[in-house]
Amino acid sequence: MLTLGFGKPGICVDTHVHRICNRWGYVATKTPEATEAALRAILPSEYWIEINDLLVAFGQNHCLPVSPFCSTCRLAALCPRIGVRKSR
At closest approach, how far in Å is the CB of 23 from ligand SF4?
4
| Cβ distance to ligand SF4 smaller for residue 34 or 79 | 79
Count other Cβ atoms within 10 Å, centred on residue 8. Answer: 11
Out of 13, 17, 39, 63, the only residue in the binding site for ligand SF4 (CB under 6 A) is 63
DSSP 19-67: HHHHHTTS---SSHHHHHHHHHHHS-GGGTTHHHHHHHHHHHHTS-SSS
Distance CA 67, CA 78 (A): 18
x/- map, 5-44, ligand SF4, by CB under 6 A: ------------------x---------------------
Contact positions toward ligand SF4, by CB under 6 A? 23, 62-63, 68-70, 73, 75-76, 79, 81, 84, 87
